[in-house]
Structure 1
Amino acid sequence: MTTTTKTQYPYRYDVVGSLLRPAALKVARTQFTQGKLTAEQLQAVQYRETQRVVNEQVQIGLRDVTDGEFNRSWWHLDFLWGLTGVGHYDYQQSYKFHGSQTRTDNADLVGKIACNPDHPFFKSFQYLQALVPDDVLVKQTIPSPTMLFRDNRSDNWPDFYPTWDAYLDDLAVAYHDTIQHFYDLGCRYLQLDDTTWAFLISQLNATKDDVVAHQKFVDLATDAVRVINQLLTGLPADLTVTTHICRGNFKSTYLFSGGYDDIADYLGQLHYDGLFLEYDSDRSGDFSPLKRIWNGDTNKRLILGLITSKFPELEDVADVEARIRDAAKQVPLANLGLSTQCGFASTEEGNQLTEEQQWAKLRLVKQIADDVWSD
């Protein structure tokens, strides 16, 4: 049922999504890949550990919680593999993180893209929904559709579509239908995670003197805006959809650097209810692009990722509060919030800190937000 009331998410203090995988889950997933555990036995471990971290998030006082992305190995690929028309192959290359190498899994088109009503993420969502108290919201995270037309994943689109635009139309419909299905199951808060914009920061700047090469990335940005806004059109009014602009997060390393200037106008066109923006290091630039990203939308919140999830040291409270005040020179304080810059385990390997240090980071996010905002 569609309503006209918009609930104000994201919250002043919010969780990005992924959490460190506990040892028991890592062992179970390894045993599963070795054929020593069945899928049902792996799921039993996943569910048990999910309940534990949900309880921890509730104890901290978070108003929305995630399942830590315990139902997946990668933040993006497991979801893409579950869509109709997407296959799994060995990329035979690691993603280019600074100082660390990933596994070589990837996804590609094997047919026309569509929502899969039996996508395993739906069952995981229903389990998570059953765990939370009535006054706590479930936040569902999935990768942005832009992740399917990057990194060679859509190279063979001509095998299935007469035009690139026809493919993008189907991709938008597949995502729209998937998100609608989450809504029908009870989801009211969903986040699309997206590294494409950080990729474009580096590429748009690097090609500014090469007209042909630059246009390729302008087209990618334009297509991204088109598909995202198309999939958001017609979703229920009481469903909040946000995005997290990610710069890469693997074993406490990163992929991309650069300020938001080159992509601010594109981000400002997106019809999201909120954007999570990484600002935990000088790699993110200053706050001046925030005004263009916010674009005067009084119903939109920008969540500042000022607390790093990469390292265990706790940030100085006064320093973080000063940075929030600085950001408020660009965007009204009422339209800002606080989070870690990313999740803690975009892949099952996780960042270089302990689980207790993870919880300390989230407690710090809430503490500072409570100091800065009264609502």
Structure 2
Amino acid sequence: MTYSLYRNPPFRAEHIGSFLRPDYLLEARHAWNDKKASGAQLREAENKAINEIVKLQQDYGFRAINDGEYRRHMFWGTFWENLEGMTNIVGPDVKIFRSYVPDVGAFLEKNYKPGETVVCTGKIKHTPAASKDHIDQIRYLQSIMPKKKHGDIKLTIPAPTWYHLRYREGSAYPKNVYRNDEEYFADAVAAYQKELQVLYDHGLRNVQIDDPNMCYFCNENMIENFNNDQLNTCTADELFTKYINVYNNIMAKCPQGMHIGLHLCRGNFVNSRYFTEGPYDRIAKELLQKVNVHTFYLEFDTERAGGVGPLQYLPSNKNVVLGVVSSKYPELENFDTMVARVYEAAKSISKGSGKSEREALEQICVSPQCGFASHSSGNAVGVNDMVAKMMLVRRVADRIWPGEA
């Protein structure tokens, strides 16, 4: 099928970013970690794998092209640890963590101790080192894609809240560095504003921020534990509002013409482990109406995420990418069921906006609910499963929006 090229992001058939690493890439990375292979050998394997995954995306009609996160070990990359004022800590004391934050709780199960983490130890400031890996990833994609398609390149970056929620009150930053969250986030916001400008200056026009933390505010158990924690100086709802303000302050200086998407999911770790559950109902109105990003990438592949009813709060000037296909399990979803879910979402948007359902469809795209390998080791799907899932996303998009990329 020939697809029109006029559309800006998000595209009708989308993906979330990470793809399964081929065995030869995993072997090369393990050899490099064990000092049995050079950086050049690892780079050669990465380049080969990226060339292959870019071709796969193009062959199946995906406009948003990324490198599969093949130069990363985890989905969040190296941005935070390379900011001035942030320090990688090996063997952290588990007492610094909020054990009731879902992903932290999962890692602390059975007395498991985190091997490392990144914490604030001084004033946060953007540095060239923070941008280096992002720029490297962009430049390589630009080198293998026609210049007219450089605007299709999509980069995933970690959330500005990533190293805040997980730490107990008093552990996210030293009190002699920042007196409160407002001071801490003011510098974090400035770092993100700088990063977006740097990426824009290097030709990037499509950014996806990955933020599983925001979904944790759908989890009633976390909310209850957070509000019962006597150390906390605000409620969970007040913290959620702080996080919204962080995003809006970043977006206040977003370069014109740069598309920013926000991806929320409930976790997708090794062996397809998820971390949290709960429908969007609890946060939907504030999230969709107050967070000033252009697009929301939302998970709707299982009952953990609830129904599409909360989409009634989606404003007319924002988009939603429906994660209706699971990247966690090999079973292939039913095509007709997926198509019906998209139309159900359009009905919810129509209900809230007064638009027709056909008009509401203009705000919708489809994707898997998460990446296929948030961790480099992948999850419970195989390569053939991944390809079949991508093909299904493309087929659903072609049925509903024929001829649109």
TM-score normalised to the size of structure 1?
A: 0.90
Which letter maps to 1:29? R
Q: Offset of 1:110 from its aligned partner?
A: 2.8
Matched position secondary structure for 1:337: strand
The alpha-carbon deviation at position 159 of structure 1 amounts to 3.6
Whole-angstrom CA distance in 2 between matches of 1:106 and 1:210: 25
Deviations 1:198-246 (A, max 9, x none): 1111157742996877943122201111111111112222100001101
| Distance (Å, rounded) in 1 between the aligned partners of 2:226 and 2:166 | 23
Query: Residue type of the partner of 1:124?
Result: Q
Give the CA RMSD over aligned residues.
Answer: 2.6
- 1:92 offset after TM fit, Å? 6.8
CA deviation map 1:159-206 (0-9, x unaligned): 422443121111001011011111100000001000111111115774
What is the alpha-carbon distance in structure 2 between the residues aligned to residue 147 and residue 187 of structure 1? 23
Label 1:207 to 1:97 Cα distance change in 2 as closer, same or farther (>3 A).
closer
Of the three residues 231, 236, 245, the one matched with 2:255 is 236
Q: Which of 276, 294, 300 is the matching residue for 1:256?
A: 276
Residue in 2 that maps onto 1:337: 365
Query: How far off is 1:104 after superposition?
Result: 3.5
**Do the aligned partners of residues 96 and 336 (structure 1) sit closer, same or farther apart at CA in structure 2, a change above 3 Å counting?**
same
1:178 aligns with 2:199: no
Q: Deviations over 1:342-365 (max 9, x none)?
A: 000001111111112211111110
Task: Report the identity percentage.
Answer: 30
Preserved contact between residue 226 and residue 235 of structure 2 (Cα < 8 Å):
no
In 1, Cα distance between equivalents of 2:93 and 2:60: 41
Q: Which amino acid aligns with 1:70?
A: Y
State the Cα distance separating 1:130 from its structure 2 match: 1.8
SS of 1:140's partner is strand
Matches within 5 A, 1:119-158: 119-133=132-146, 134-135=148-149, 137-152=152-167, 155-158=172-175
CA shift in 2, pair 1:208/1:290, >3 Å: farther
- The whole-number CA distance in structure 2 between the counterparts of 1:128 and 1:344 is 20
CA 1:211–1:316 in structure 2 vs 1: closer, same or farther (change >3 Å)?
A: same
Q: Structure 2 residue aligned with 1:167, among 184, 197, 201? A: 184
Runs of 5+ consecutive residues of structure 2 not aligned to the other structure: 1-5, 95-102, 350-359
TM superposition shift of 1:46: 1.3
CA pair 208-38 structure 1, distance change in 2 beyond 3 A: closer
For residues 228 and 69 of structure 1, what CA distance do their matches in structure 2 show?
A: 23
Q: What amino acid is aligned across from residue 277 of structure 1 in structure 2? A: L
1:304 to 2:304 alignment: no
Within 5 A, what are the aligned runs for 1:1-375? 8-76=8-76, 78-89=78-89, 90-91=91-92, 95-97=104-106, 104-118=115-129, 119-133=132-146, 134-135=148-149, 137-152=152-167, 155-203=172-220, 206-207=223-224, 215-250=234-269, 251-268=271-288, 269-292=290-313, 294=314, 296=315, 298-331=316-349, 332-374=360-402, 375=404
C-alpha distance in 1, partners of 2:93/2:385? 34
Matched to 2:157, the amino acid is I
Note the C-alpha offset of 1:97: 4.2
C-alpha deviation, 1:108, in angstroms:
0.8
1:204–1:262 CA contact under 8 A, matched in 2? no
Structure 1 residues 82 and 242, CA gap change in structure 2 (3 angstroms): same
- Alpha carbons of structure 1 residues 265 and 102: separation in structure 2 relative to 1, 3 Å: farther
Q: 1:157, 1:164 within 8 Å by CA — same for their partners in 2?
A: no
CA positional deviation for 1:7: 6.3
- With the length of structure 2 as denominator, give the TM-score of the two structures: 0.84
- Partners of 1:126 and 1:25 lie apart in 2 by 20
- Structure 1 gaps of 5+ residues are 1-5
**Matched length:** 367
